[in-house]
Amino acid sequence: MSKLIEVTNLQYRYANAAHDTLQIPEFSIQKGERVYLYGPSGSGKTTLLEILAGILKVEQGEVKILDRNLASLSESERDHFRAEHLGYIFQSFNLIPYLSVQENIELPLHLSPARKARLQSEDAMSVLRHLCTRLGIITLLEKKVTELSVGQQQRVAVARALLGRPELILADEPTSSLDMDHREKFLELMFELCAQFGTTVLFVSHDRSIQHLFSRSVALDSVNHLEKGN
């Protein structure tokens, strides 16, 4: 299996900060993996996700996704890369409040022509309907986002992240606002769809009760070797 994400000697420090937030000598994810990355709050999980998403610029070290070195891309190239190859799911408030459910799901296709092109001959609407049927939100398409429960909102977020078959989904604790039963069902459904689309998942959380559902779990501390006294 080839590597989808390959991090080598990454060091990241926020501007004006006294210490590095991340010092990762080596970390990689294979294609098709479902990786569970855990660590306490403030340990740099979100920072790593933002680096992988190309929001934060890599100053030291190398971050390769799909064999592209993010450090060598300009800001707008990283924006395009993210739009084309990545899906991102937030902990909560994933949706734009003034758009309908369907408009929210379609948003990435409008923002990235490349993403739309990935659907190739497939009819975007039928793909969308298929995804929504699988996620059990087909009846909600015309609804206002504000009428949805939290669980429904998170499933809409999954549909949006998966539309256009991105290679990688980055999820920042998307289940923390769901109760236990829903968490497992939500993850099972998401993994099923990711497997179907061949999408790799990197999921960060501090809640270890769900880690058994993943193909691999990694403690951020075990890859992030912050030097003492740094």
Where do contacts with other proteins occur on this chain (CB under 8 A)?
46, 49-50, 53, 55-56, 75-76, 79-80, 82-84, 86, 88, 90, 93-99, 103, 107-108, 110-112, 115, 160, 172
Say which residues have a Cβ less than 8 Å from residue 51's Cβ, sequence separation at least 6: 10, 12, 22, 58, 63, 70
Q: Please give the radius of gyration of the chain, using alpha carbons only, rounded to the nearest integer.
A: 18
Which residues face 31 on adjacent strands?
Answer: none
Q: Least Å distance between CB 183 and other proteins?
A: 21
CB 94, CB 157: distance < 8 Å: yes
**What's the sign of the alpha-carbon dihedral 39, 207, 192, 100?**
negative
In the complex with other proteins, the residue whose CB is nearer, 114 or 226, is 114
In the complex with other proteins, the residue whose CB is nearer, 55 or 138, is 55
Q: Least Å distance between CB 46 and other proteins?
A: 5
Torsion, Cα 176 178 181 184, to 10 degrees, reads -50
| Helix, strand, coil tally for the chain in percent (to 5) | 45, 25, 35
In the complex with other proteins, the residue whose CB is nearer, 84 or 167, is 84
In the complex with other proteins, the residue whose CB is nearer, 66 or 213, is 66
Q: Least Å distance between CB 88 and other proteins?
A: 4
Q: Least Å distance between CB 165 and other proteins?
A: 15
Q: Least Å distance between CB 137 and other proteins?
A: 18
Report the C-alpha gap between 92 and 178 in whole angstroms: 10
In the complex with other proteins, the residue whose CB is nearer, 46 or 200, is 46
